[in-house]
């Protein structure tokens, strides 16, 4: 939602999409993501945490960025859940 407001109000984000290491000033790499997919069909928002690390050998700098994915449900049809969140697969 914040990204949509930034576009509508023509605000520039001070924070880059991919973080930079404060010591080496290089782009960090994505290590993985932790998320809580929606558990019920009437929920339309998913929250994820992206974890980045510095690619320079011996550097232990990490950074986390929170992301929220919003889906607009179609009337009468539940939003599709991600494959990793489906039970039994």
- Summarize pLDDT for 15-45 with one digit per residue, the tens: 677 899 999 999 999 998 887 655 555 566 7
For residues 68 and 52, what is the distance between their CA atoms, to the nearest angstrom? 17
**Distance between terminal CA atoms of the chain?**
31
pTM attached to this predicted model: 0.58
For residues 41 and 56, what is the distance between their CA atoms, to the nearest angstrom? 43
Share of the chain above pLDDT 90, in %: 27
* Domain ranges for the chain: 16-74
Residue 18 in contact with residue 40, Cβ under 8 Å?
no
Residues ≥6 apart with Cβ < 8 Å to 67: 47, 48, 49, 50
The tokens 């859940």 sit on which residue?
Answer: 81
Q: pLDDT averaged over the chain? A: 77
**How would CATH label the architecture of 16-74?**
Single Sheet (2.20)
Confidence of residue 82 (pLDDT cuts 50, 70, 90): low
């Amino acid at each position: 939602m914040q990204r949509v407001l930034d576009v509508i109000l023509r605000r520039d984000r001070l924070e880059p999409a991919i973080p930079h290491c404060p010591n080496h000033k290089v782009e960090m790499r994505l290590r993985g993501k932790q998320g809580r997919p929606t558990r019920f069909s009437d929920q339309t928002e998913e929250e994820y945490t992206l974890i980045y690390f510095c690619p320079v050998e011996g550097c232990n700098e990490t950074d986390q960025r929170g992301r929220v994915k919003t889906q607009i449900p179609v009337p009468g049809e539940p939003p599709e859940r991600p494959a990793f969140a489906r039970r039994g697969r």
